[in-house]
Amino acid sequence: MAICVETRKCLLGAIEDSDRSLSIYGTIAANFWEDLINHYLNIELDGFVVMSNHIHGIIKIVGSTRRLAPTNTTNKTIRNRIINTNENHKN
């Protein structure tokens, strides 16, 4: 999958002299990627990379059990965690 930042702003990090450095937002994206396996039983994570204005990742769906998509409550929880993390880094 590929997910782009709104209006493709370079908010996730930067590349300088062939070195990639993540912003706080890029770090949050990478941390959430790694945490996905703790929330979804039938997935395996494969390749993942954070670019300056988008992310790429491969999620393998494994097993034959069907599972419902996350509810809006889950999405609100994730959004609140991002907001709280950002507020903590402003100080």
Residue identified by tokens 């979804």 is: 40
Span 9-19, average pLDDT:
89
In order, the DSSP letters of 21-46 are EE-HHHHHHHHHHHHGGGT-TTEEEE
pLDDT of residue 13: 93
Contact 50, 32 (CB under 8 A): no
Single-letter residue type at 77: T
Helix (H) / strand (E) element for 50: namely strand 43-50
pLDDT tens digits, residue range 20-75?
899 999 999 999 999 999 988 888 999 999 999 999 999 998 886 565 566 655 55
Residue identified by tokens 């990478």 is: 30
Q: For residue 18, what pLDDT band results from cuts at 50, 70 and 90?
A: confident
3-class secondary structure, 86: helix
Indicate the domain borders of the chain: 2-90
